[in-house]
Each structure stands twice: as C-alpha cells, then as structure tokens.
Amino acid sequence: MAHTKIERMPVWRMIMYSLGQFGWSLLSAVASLLTYFYIPPETGEATFPILVTRETVLGMTVIGVSGFLASMSGLFFDPLMGGLSDRSKAKLGRRRFFMLIASLPLALMCFLIFSPPTPEASRINALWVMAAVVLFNIFMSVYRMPYGALIPEIGHTSKDRMLLCTVTSVTWAFGFLLGAQLIFALKDMLQQSFGMTPLAAFRTVVGFYGVLAFLLLSLPLIFVDEKRFCAGQVSTESPIQSIIKAFSNRDFVIFTASNTIYSMADLILQLGIVYYITVLLGLKESWVAILGGIGFGLSFLWYVFVNLIAARVSKKKMVVFAFILQAIIYILIALAGKLPGSLMVLACVIIALESVVAAVTGIVPGAINADIIRADAIRTGVHREASFGGAASFFMKIPLALPPLVFPSLLLLGRSAQNSTGVRLTALVGFVLMVASIAVLFLYNEKRTLETLAREEILSRK
C-alpha cells in the first residue's frame, strides 16, 4: 500500500469516526456508576435496594474488588488486542474487524452490570456483578484498542491529529455528560412522571443508553475505510515484541506515566462527583446534570481557544497549566463548607475552572500521544499504533484499578452531610495525585518529538 495513494479523510467522516467514541464514552460513564448504584449516598431520600453486601473483607468491599478485577483483566487484554490488531490482515480492516465483534456485547454487558438475578443481597449477585464488570472491560478492550489506533493512522499531519483529538474530545464529553450526569435527571423524571421506583427508573435509562451506544459504536465501521484513509501498515512483530519496543520509547513512557497519574485523579472525580455535589454542597442528585451541563458547555467554548493556542504555544505547557488548575479544584472541593461564602458560588467557581481543565485535557494530551506514536513510526518504519495503545493501557491498568478499589472504603469513613470525612479524603487524594502528575510531566522531552514530525512534513512537501 503506497503512501501516495492514501487519501486525506474528509472532516465529515472524522466526525462519524468520533461518534464511536461517544458510544464507548457513554457506556464507560454508565459503568463508572457502579459504586453509586450499589453504595448510594445517604441523603434521606428513596434509593436502591441492597443487592450486594456492603460488608468489607480486609477493608475492601465487593464493589471495590469488582472494579479491581475488571482493571486487571484489561491489564492483559489491552496489550493483547493492540498487538493482534496491528498484525491483523482481516478484509474489513485490521481495526474495524475487532470493533465489529465487540460493539453489541459491550452494550449488553453495560446493562447486565446493574441487573443481578436476585432481588436481594446474595452470593450469586456478587459473582454476577464481578463477572459482568470483567466481561464489560474485556469487550471494551476489544473495541477501544483498535479504535484509538486509528487516530495516528488517519491523522496524516499534526493539524489533522489535533482536529481528530478535538472532535473525539467533544463526543467523549457528550458521552460522559449523558452517561454520568444527565442520567440522574432522567431517572428523576421517570420516577416523577411514571411513578417508577429508583431501581426501575435507573435500569430503564441504562437500557436506553445501551441501544443508543450500540448505534454509535457502529458508525466508524461504516464510514472509516482503512484502505482509503489509513497510513498505517500491517506489523510483523509479535504482540510481546511490539509492547517491548513501545516501552523502549522514553518519551512515550514519561508522558504515559504523567497521564496515568492524572487519569487516577480524574477517575476519583468521576467516582466522587455525585458525593461532592450532594454531600459537600448539599444539593440534590439532579444538580449533577445541571452543573455538569454548565461545565461541559463552558468547556466547548474553550475548545476554539485551545486549538488556536496549541498552534502557538507548547502543548506540554498547556497541559501543565491545566494540571495546576485541577490540583486547585481538588483543594476547593476538600474545603467545601469550610470556606466563607456561598456554597453555590463555590460550585460555580469549581465548574468554571473545571471547564478550562476539561477543554485542555480533552484535546491536548491525545494530540501529544498521537504525535509521539507517529514520530516513532517515522523513526523506526514500523507501524505499531495499537500496540502503543495496549502498552499505555498495560502501564495504566494497575494504577487505575486503585481508585475504584480504595474509593468505596474511604466512603465508609463518612459519606453524609453530618460526617463527610470520607468524601473529603477522596478529594485530598486527588490533589496529591495531581502534584505527582505535574512533577513527572516536566521530564517529557517535547522538542525531540516535534523535530521528528517537522522533518517528515518537510519531506512530504518535496
């Protein structure tokens, strides 16, 4: 497949590709409500029945262990799927083939996570939840590893890669907003309008989301023709060889380490948002959707500025700035109710700052990662795009398994307005992680990557 025959993907097709991320972001956001569903906040209102025991073993809950086991499954499946995708010679394409076989099971497993077979706490329910969460993460690996590998392949220039990261960031944000925040408003609407119980209303919304997500996951399969638009080539390396080569890239390792620590902090925010709003700010669950919608709306306004600034300012400096803001946000959350002034004003300040963070981290880190992967392909002549994704996931899985494991245990120290110790501790953990992420990011050598990409663009114009 000669490089000169590869077409530049039209923007409208890039948008169709990005809607696949809407689908898996939506499902991922819903799955992140595992703790909320099985250990809901104590607000005095009607809530879900106890379907899985909340007792602990060695300080760990069943829900915490489920999340940990799910992450451990990805530890092996993500790099495996990355390597298999890079080596695949399927007629449909080395990426779309795996995405096709994973899309329907992924949507189905998301619903089953919240639908254990017995109406009360039992061992069967505990095993069901563990199995459903693990299978969900396995199918997520099968879809997401090939999907993410397409960005450095269809993004032939730094500008295209930045554009792809922008549109996928927008669709990811919509998926997260719909799945992790608007779900509360929709649940309340079903309860009030149709008299549904909290359990029935929640499951109804999750079922609807599953159908919608499946349709969205199918769009890249239809509109991304790998033979026409992808610059990558089939790799001859084994999955293990590709992973080893990926880890030999110093820039990739350092940036992935920083991004991993940030992702741990961000996961705490996703797990804790409903607790921060209901327990620390004293608002109803429906405010999760309201404040989240405002935050995402503001972040979209920043997207244009992020792209303009990225063309003139170091991407690394932009990310450092965003990480500093995120650290400040965690301090404000931890001190909510302890500072003078209105809690609503504090909420608005936090949302405004978070919108800036979301705009930068939603676009720029993905563009940096795609640049690093593209630069590696230029230097080595080997296209291991999915293997890099698998290596990053392998690197991140154990650290990212820790927040879901520890978070429920911290909540047991206090998750009510009268005793919010556990909720505040989760925010302090997020702050410490952000400080560590910033320290590691300073070690990333951005200049080396940019010089390699600049040489390629000069040669392509000759």
More confident residue, 412 or 309: 309
pLDDT of residue 458: 60
More confident residue, 117 or 176: 117
pLDDT of residue 2: 38
**Residues 445-460: what's their mean pLDDT?**
79
Q: By C-alpha distance, which of 70, 75, 224 is closest to 147?
A: 224
pLDDT of residue 153: 86
pLDDT of residue 354: 93
pLDDT of residue 461: 56
Distance CA 283, CA 289 (A): 11
Query: Would you say the C-alpha torsion 167, 172, 173, 178 has a positive or negative sign?
Result: positive
Q: What is the pLDDT of residues 269-325, one digit of tens each?
A: 988 888 888 888 888 877 887 887 788 789 888 988 998 898 889 999 999 999 999
DSSP classification of residue 119: S
Report whether pLDDT(434) > 90: yes
Contacts made by residues 320-323, CB under 8 angstroms, sequence distance 24+ = 320/438, 320/441, 320/442, 321/360, 322/356, 322/357, 322/360, 322/361, 322/364, 323/262, 323/361, 323/434, 323/437, 323/438, 323/441
More confident residue, 64 or 147: 147
Report whether pLDDT(101) > 50: yes
A 10 A CB-CB count for 54 gives 13
Report whether pLDDT(3) > 50: no
Most confident of 63-77, 84-98, 423-437: 423-437
More confident residue, 238 or 28: 28
- Percent of the chain clearing pLDDT 90 (strictly above): 44
Q: What is the pLDDT of residues 164-181, one digit of tens each?
A: 988 998 898 889 889 987
- Percent of the chain clearing pLDDT 70 (strictly above): 95
Q: Of the given ranges (64-73, 85-94, 247-256), which has the lowest mean pLDDT?
A: 64-73
Q: By C-alpha distance, which of 194, 148, 197, 188 is closest to 169?
A: 148
Report whether pLDDT(16) > 90: yes
pLDDT tier at 94, thresholds 50, 70, 90: confident
Most confident of 77-86, 278-287, 346-355, 369-378: 346-355
pLDDT tier at 44, thresholds 50, 70, 90: low
Largest CA distance in the chain: 69
- Name the pTM for this structure: 0.74
Report whether pLDDT(351) > 80: yes
> Class of 8-220+239-461 per CATH?
mainly alpha
pLDDT tier at 462, thresholds 50, 70, 90: low
**Residues 175-196: what's their mean pLDDT?**
90
Report whether pLDDT(57) > 70: no
Strands (DSSP E) along 121-210, which ranges?
A: none
pLDDT tier at 357, thresholds 50, 70, 90: very high
More confident residue, 428 or 296: 428
Report whether pLDDT(59) > 70: no
**Residues 322-334: what's their mean pLDDT?**
95
For the chain, domain boundaries: 8-220+239-461
Q: By C-alpha distance, which of 219, 226, 224 is closest to 91?
A: 226
pLDDT of residue 321: 97
Distances in Å between the alpha carbon of 176 and those of 52, 187, 408, 458? 26, 16, 21, 39
**Residues 139-157: what's their mean pLDDT?**
89
